[in-house]
Structure 1
């Protein structure tokens, strides 16, 4: 077979398998982490018709800007559904689109194969493949897409002195700010500073005046939004101050020394596992010729600048989770793909392929061991799945020996197969457990007791004091209240069932069904309500009562 056609055939199989594992999982697991909160805000926009003021339980929500919630709401309206797959679809499509963007952007500056590998390394980055894509209803995959496009056009502007690209970069900066706030600004500013330093650019070479004019785009769009927000009766001052406060809370400025030291020690491991197994290719940097090759590539150099200019902001953060680091993964992938050279007789290349072959060989026994030890999971077609895994592993080993030039693509194919295997094992096991041992199991019981009537939330509002300070000097502060916190899975599944907002009340209203914390129920007149059910919220294991007034 023609080597070119052979490689195209393998790429076609990789693309089909990627679409299958990302967009068509066998089960839709319940929303978790931040997913249900994003879903609730979007649902309440639809229920209330108020798309300007993000709300939870009918109260204003100040922690994130609204763009991602608008996107999720659009998908909900288009598909006429509030189901989990609709909530996750914008994030999953963002991931696939970013993979394509990496290829079409990179191929202008590097060899076609490096562009393809950059795209596929990102697509199959372990942290997203096995974690981020499972909880894709969060902001971070969409935000990563915006940040990459923003910085890609920034590179084009700085590399070719392209004014139009600079204005497009700032347009996507505006979208990034409207998605996640201050982090988008940090990526732009710190990357520009890093590039100026590394390239020793003169004043006229980095288009200072155009940067100032282009910055009017995000300033103007944000000013328009908050003017409209204020005209609708929203507290725009509280909203803006809290966005800055949220960013400061996660920085070293507002973090205790012990927490900061713990984060500092843990961060390198968290960062390096983002791109696994392709992170192992960074061992090639021990070779001087590889380092020289990477530094000669303007795109790889820019990617390194993005990483090194912004990483300290996260490294010295008091609170970090891997999804905050997703915007770094495309640039890590570009550097890894540039460092990779299949014709290089580097000893590390043999070790890398040896590691991949080890995964290939242990996958079938691993599946067999899982099926034997998890018989209660009631997984279907077990022997067929074992046969498929053995067939795939045998095929990969044979092709590894027969087509050494295509080993990296075979490795990518097999990593996607591991994701497929996880959908045979983790998904059905977790899905079966959720039907019995999670808050989902409580939803039909709650509505059985309420006889299908809407359920609302009762309690004491949470008090917040936000203070933007410089050392001991307070610059500006505000106070606000928001609803009593609880697991956001509850309002998501309750609102999805009742098709209306689960309103938060601080006082009893007649003829209502309420969820209320058991510890707070004595604050209300016992003659005004009847306790009809009790269960425990998974979040902090807090007992809740369902009451009828």
Structure 2
């Protein structure tokens, strides 16, 4: 009951102003592929600007395109829904999995909500329409299904269900799915001394079914674009570009030491629970609890791939973080009574942080926002009352002080949504305004992106322009190497050579809009 009450509190915290900011980072890339599927009525071949897009298979784009079609909107809010809704489903999945396997709802509650209130999710990934939350949720379900069927000794279902999920996740993100499945299965079979099952008919048949599903997609794709060699090359490149081979030994060597500390910082304040696991009894507890041992093995079997990859981004580990949260939450409830002094200090730290957060709320009145925020007084009063109430609970409760602290963190996110997101709007709005202006001026006419050869790092910037052009025009824009077709042309770094080209308007960042009649 408490878990779902906190989940209800989380809904306004995460959904408020979700669609306020323009798309950024990888968001417009996902949006463009889905939008072009609808505009071209071709759902088999991902494209951006009419050119083949090979970086990711299209399952996530199918879901996003379905939402676009269902809602009739290409808005930022709808674009982010396939990430934010699975975030809540992910938390619920963690809660039920832990409650089922450990039979301790305290650990289940803390593990599930830790996924929402760690720093990385609280203030960053939860407001982006990236593929990673959806993908990680499915991967986590695979981890849990493997353990569920292992306990029942149902080997065929263990392999079949997990490989079925692997096929689905492969069609979302590509090769990392094969790595997760392979490492997890091998680790489970080795530590349980069942490696002969790797060569069993159940495993081989399940692997074949997985390959057939993936193969069916590529067979259909081949009929639209026979260049599968380039597709496979790009998928492989996407999976290997952040490894030691690409980054160099010196950079990679330093990463080996900084990696664990960097991610402990990303996961604050949840990662503070690690102090309850720094004792001699912790490893004994891990070995004695079958589920805790399993998720520890899965974590260790998969984390080394990212530990050895210097360019790894935190969102790539979203399926592994919950495994860590479960271990830390279990350690907290297992050892807090055995170490009362440590628990007292920890509770005082929670209270001190809560008091600081509550006292910081009125500071909003002294901040000059770049853009006006509505109902400031009312919002401050709501936050002050809520933070004060949860701080009082942290002070007065004898047990489970961490639960009202989680609620307090959700108020921090609500304050972030109310005050920080609007303050970022003015700075982020420029490219959306420019793109919409170009689309309005060229409405009803073909639109081309001339000599489009951006560096990889500038792709999100260019894809953002394409997204707002296509969303406003309701037609596909296309790349071109020629400047002889009638229509409008956007140039990023050069002029058109056609003498019939007329410069319509020049924008910042050397963007130029031409018209050829």
**What is the TM-score normalised by the length of structure 1?**
0.87
Superposition pairs for residues 427-506 of structure 1, below 5 Å? 427-435=421-429, 438-450=430-442, 453-461=445-453, 487-506=462-481
The C-alpha deviation readout for 1:168-216, integer Å capped at 9, x for no partner, is: 11100111111111111111111223233433x1444667432222111
> How many Å separate the matches in 2 of 1:88 and 1:26?
8
The C-alpha deviation readout for 1:400-438, integer Å capped at 9, x for no partner, is: 233222312111111111111111221111124434xx2
The C-alpha deviation readout for 1:448-486, integer Å capped at 9, x for no partner, is: 54366453211155799xxxxxxxxxxxxxxxxxx9985
> How many Å separate the matches in 2 of 1:321 and 1:499?
34
Superposition pairs for residues 67-216 of structure 1, below 5 Å? 67-113=59-105, 114-135=107-128, 137-162=129-154, 163-199=156-192, 201-204=193-196, 208-216=200-208
Paired position in structure 2 for 1:13:
5
Paired position in structure 2 for 1:411:
405
> How many Å separate the matches in 1 of 2:513 and 2:187?
56
Superposition pairs for residues 270-289 of structure 1, below 5 Å? 270-289=262-281
- Residue of 290, 294, 302 corresponding to 1:302: 294
> How many Å separate the matches in 2 of 1:376 and 1:462?
31
The C-alpha deviation readout for 1:310-369, integer Å capped at 9, x for no partner, is: 111111114121111211122112112211215444433333323322221112333333
Contact 2:491 2:512 in 1 (8 A): yes
Matched, 1:384 2:396: no
Contact 2:28 2:460 in 1 (8 A): no
Contact 1:177 1:185 in 2 (8 A): yes
CA shift, 1:153, in A, is: 1.3
Matched residue SS, 2:486: coil
Alpha carbons of 1:187 and 1:27: their partners in 2 closer, same or farther (altered >3 Å)?
closer
Paired position in structure 2 for 1:41:
33
* Structure 1 segments of 4+ aligned residues over 6 angstroms from their partners: none
Aligned residues: 511
Q: Which 5+ residue runs of structure 2 have no aligned equivalent?
A: none
> How many Å separate the matches in 1 of 2:325 and 2:446?
48
Matched residue SS, 2:513: strand
Matched, 1:393 2:387: yes
Contact 1:170 1:214 in 2 (8 A): yes
> How many Å separate the matches in 2 of 1:11 and 1:448?
48
> How many Å separate the matches in 2 of 1:254 and 1:433?
34
Matched residue SS, 2:225: coil
CA shift, 1:250, in A, is: 1.8
Alpha carbons of 1:58 and 1:107: their partners in 2 closer, same or farther (altered >3 Å)?
same
Paired position in structure 2 for 1:530:
502
> How many Å separate the matches in 1 of 2:42 and 2:9?
40
> How many Å separate the matches in 1 of 2:3 and 2:341?
27
Q: Which 5+ residue runs of structure 1 have no aligned equivalent?
A: 1-7, 465-482, 538-542
Superposition pairs for residues 368-383 of structure 1, below 5 Å? 368-383=362-377
The C-alpha deviation readout for 1:131-184, integer Å capped at 9, x for no partner, is: 11111x111011111111111112223333222132111100111111111111
Contact 2:277 2:328 in 1 (8 A): no
Paired position in structure 2 for 1:479:
none
CA shift, 1:286, in A, is: 1.4
Alpha carbons of 1:187 and 1:32: their partners in 2 closer, same or farther (altered >3 Å)?
same
> How many Å separate the matches in 1 of 2:454 and 2:227?
17
Moved more, 184-193 or 22-31: 22-31
Root mean square deviation, CA, Å? 2.4
Contact 1:434 1:441 in 2 (8 A): no
> How many Å separate the matches in 2 of 1:218 and 1:14?
38
**What is the TM-score normalised by the length of structure 2?**
0.92
Matched residue SS, 1:133: helix
- Residue of 472, 485, 490 corresponding to 1:510: 485
> How many Å separate the matches in 2 of 1:171 and 1:179?
13
The C-alpha deviation readout for 1:57-107, integer Å capped at 9, x for no partner, is: 001011111111111111111111100111110111111111111222222
The C-alpha deviation readout for 1:200-253, integer Å capped at 9, x for no partner, is: x14446674322221112200111111111112341221112211221222223
Matched residue SS, 2:499: helix
CA shift, 1:262, in A, is: 4.5
CA shift, 1:265, in A, is: 4.1
CA shift, 1:267, in A, is: 2.0
Paired position in structure 2 for 1:58:
50
- Residue of 474, 494, 512 corresponding to 1:545: 512
> How many Å separate the matches in 1 of 2:418 and 2:35?
31
Matched residue SS, 1:215: helix
Alpha carbons of 1:73 and 1:25: their partners in 2 closer, same or farther (altered >3 Å)?
same
CA shift, 1:25, in A, is: 3.2
Matched residue SS, 2:373: coil
> How many Å separate the matches in 1 of 2:303 and 2:380?
42
Contact 2:371 2:423 in 1 (8 A): yes
